[in-house]
A and B are shown apart, each in its own frame.
Chain A
Amino acid sequence: MTGIALPDLFARRFVSSGGNREPLARAALVLLAVVAGLTMLVSLAIGPIAIPVLELLPHMPGRVLAASAGAPEGVSARDWIVVTEIRLPRVVLGALVGAALAVAGAVMQGLFRNPLADPGIVGVSAGAGLGAALFIVLGNTALASVMAILGIYAVPLAAFIGGLITTLLLYRIGTRGGITSVATLLLAGIALGALTGAMTGLLVYAADDQQLRDLQFWGLGSLAGSNWEKVASAAPIIGVMLVSVPFLARGLNGLTLGEAAASHIGIRVQRLKNISILLVAAATGASVAVSGGIGFVGIVVPHLLRLTIGPDHKYLLPASALLGAILLIAADTLARTIVAPAELPIGIITAFAGAPFFLWILLRKRGLTGL
């Protein structure tokens, strides 16, 4: 009986809910969670070596949580190592970075009240990149003492600080009286991007051959070279961001009315802005530090979701995290299989897919508002 009643119940709720998109959004969240799980499994199974992932699955939580090394009984040692030491950290890192980039985009768009704001486009990633490059190149020489204290957190932390400074500058330049001008924001982003790019260029000039290769591949954006150490360096920062971001939902919803009206309905706007900027910079910094310049996830994901489930941040933020993870894992799977045994930097794939999408939003928005 329930088998018949359930879809019918859903349909009726969607139709008769009088503008209430929440049931749809909740259903979408469940769907996205299921698809995210499936995408991870597929990504673990696909590669130069096909692996029976479902058989290994029960043993994996133990590897992630307890870091037990050896292959469990009845599992080929080769398969086990390929999955747990190569593919699993890569999938986990891809999920973290995808979620962080998409949520950072959604939060930034809410904060700037503009669907085109994104850490990659307005230069925040470039600022984070400068911070990271600083440690990649000078980590063994000028900054060795800092590196010794901070260990694996040095690069993410430097990227975070670089991203934070850029975000604060952008906010100061692009926002006047609580209103952000798109043109100013994008132009300021170009200028800041060029400036940080030039400084990164100086570092490239000073780099040795190995560092140069690292920098270049990393600059294009890639999850190659993912390992548990990188996961450990990014997971705490991105984790904090993903856990705290739901508390911003009400504030960001209120902010769609503008800063004054948001304050009128009881939102502490300045505090909301401070926390949002901090979280965006932290998540962008952590992502850039481990995966380089992967662009457009933060634009494409929230935009697609707003079109389907609506702009309520209560659902938009968690859904962005899930869809961001799905898209990035899928893109990464493509990146490492399409030209196997070589692999493409994933940033090239996201740019190929994302840049036309960005233009599409721009043209649509121009039609609506005379941008």
Chain B
Amino acid sequence: MHQFKLAEDPSSSELHVERASVSIGRVQIVQDVSFHAHAGEFVAIIGPSGSGKTTLLKAMTGELSYSGSIRLAGMETGKLSAEYLAQMRGVLPQASQISFPLNVSEVVGLGVIDRRQGRDGRARRIRDALAKVGLHGFEGRSYQELSGGEQQRVQLARVLCQVWEPVADDGNPRWLFLDEPVSSLDIKHQYQIMQLAAGYAAAGGGVVAVMHDLNLTAAFADRILVMKGGKRLSFGGRDEVMQADLLSEAYDFPLALTRSGESDVPLVVPGGGSVR
């Protein structure tokens, strides 16, 4: 299924989080979270608002300092330089405000950090990335005049430009860290972007995404980390985690699972009884 070649050292294709804790000011937001992800997988982080999902993601991307250990390709992310990290992973933040009137191709172009790209290669990369997120021909549009969903997709195109090949020349996988990548999109684009992310993983890259939509998570994630109150509530494969009682506990709200038609993907609905 996964047709990429792994580098010799198995740790080079893993994200290892061991007893990571993150504090902002004096408040501890994330406490002793451990899990590991392999490149080639789509890992979703779910949990109620305020459970520390985004904070954990920010620690993994090097934006927040942490205690414990977060290793990407065997290296402690907190010790890597911004330049080095930028070669290994791209980050899609939750919301992106831009301070000056850049147009779409200028925003996306900020992601082209590979200096070997000539002027034409750069323009082609920008065009291809925009096509991937369904914004073909948007190059000359003003970023600030786009809708929230379009802005979100422009940002994703920028991130894709940065880590274009899921596996780098040296055989090491690249990583996508996405903070609620589809929260401001309509259903068509939600599926489009989720397929894009899943495709990135299938091609050998690593994908870690903070998700709010449990049904999209069930449809696309290979493994799921459930957070609650800053701690890890559960971590495992989709079928392990997608359980009515576990999800109900995570969200403090009665949830049930159902299936529609032939699909083997569970649907999460409010309510008491479980169909499984």
Contacts and interface: CB of A to CB of B under 8 A. Distances in A.
A253 B110 contact: yes
B96 interface: yes
B97 A18 contact: no
Contacts of A269: 82
Contacts of A310: 101-103, 106
A360 to B, nearest CB: 16
Contact of A265 (B113, B127, B140): B113
Nearest to A22: B119
A70 interface: no
Contacts, number: 86
Interface string B52-94: 0000001001110000000000000000011101110011010
Given A266-B113, A312-B106, A114 B82 contact: no
Interface string A95-138: 00000000000000010011100000000000000000000000
A20 B139 contact: yes
A258 interface: yes
B63 to A, nearest CB: 5
A260 interface: yes
B172 interface: no
B98 A256 contact: yes
A257 B139 contact: no
B26 to A, nearest CB: 16
A157 B96 CA distance: 40
Contacts of A257: 96, 98, 107, 110
Interface string A292-324: 000000000000001000111000000000000
Contacts of B127: 18
A256 B102 contact: yes
A352 B124 CA distance: 47
Contacts of B105: 18-20
A256 B137 CA distance: 23
Query: By DSSP majority rule, is chain B's interface helix, strand, loop, or mixed?
Result: loop
A258 B91 CA distance: 13
Residue among A20, A113, A268 with most chain B CB within 10 A: A20
Given A264-B63, A265-B111, A115 B100 contact: yes
Interface string A193-231: 000000000000000000000000000000000000000
Contacts of B263: none
Interface of A: 18-21, 110, 113-115, 253-258, 260-261, 263-269, 306, 310-312
Given A260-B93, A306-B100, A306-B101, A19 B82 contact: no
A306 B99 CA distance: 12
Interface of B: 58, 61-63, 81-83, 85-87, 90-91, 93, 96-107, 110-111, 113, 123, 127, 138-141, 162
A266 B110 contact: no
A265 B93 contact: no
A113 B58 CA distance: 22
Given A18-B140, A311-B100, A268 B83 contact: yes
A275 to B, nearest CB: 15
B86 A311 contact: no
Contact of B63 (A20, A113, A263): A263
A18 B103 CA distance: 10
Query: By DSSP majority rule, is chain A's interface helix, strand, loop, or mixed?
Result: loop
B98 A264 contact: no
Contacts of A19: 103-106, 138-141
A87 to B, nearest CB: 38
A20 B86 CA distance: 24
Given A19-B103, A19-B139, A267-B82, 15 more contacts: A18-B140, A19-B104, A19-B105, A19-B106, A21-B106, A113-B99, A115-B99, A256-B110, A257-B110, A258-B99, A263-B82, A264-B61, A264-B90, A311-B101, A311-B102
B148 to A, nearest CB: 15
A26 to B, nearest CB: 11
Nearest to A264: B91
Contact of B97 (A258, A264, A267, A312): A258
Contacts of A256: 98-100, 102, 110
B92 to A, nearest CB: 9
Given A260-B93, A311-B102, A18 B86 contact: no
A110 B102 CA distance: 13
Contacts of A312: 102, 106
Residue among A115, A266, A267, A306 with most chain B CB within 10 A: A266
A80 to B, nearest CB: 47
Nearest to A307: B101
B123 A20 contact: yes
Contact of A263 (B62, B138, B139): B62
A269 B81 CA distance: 11
Contacts of B110: 253-254, 256-257, 265
A268 B123 contact: no
A256 B82 CA distance: 17
A261 B85 CA distance: 12
A113 B101 CA distance: 11
A312 B105 CA distance: 11
Closest 5 CB pairs of A and B: A266-B86, A19-B139, A19-B140, A113-B99, A311-B100
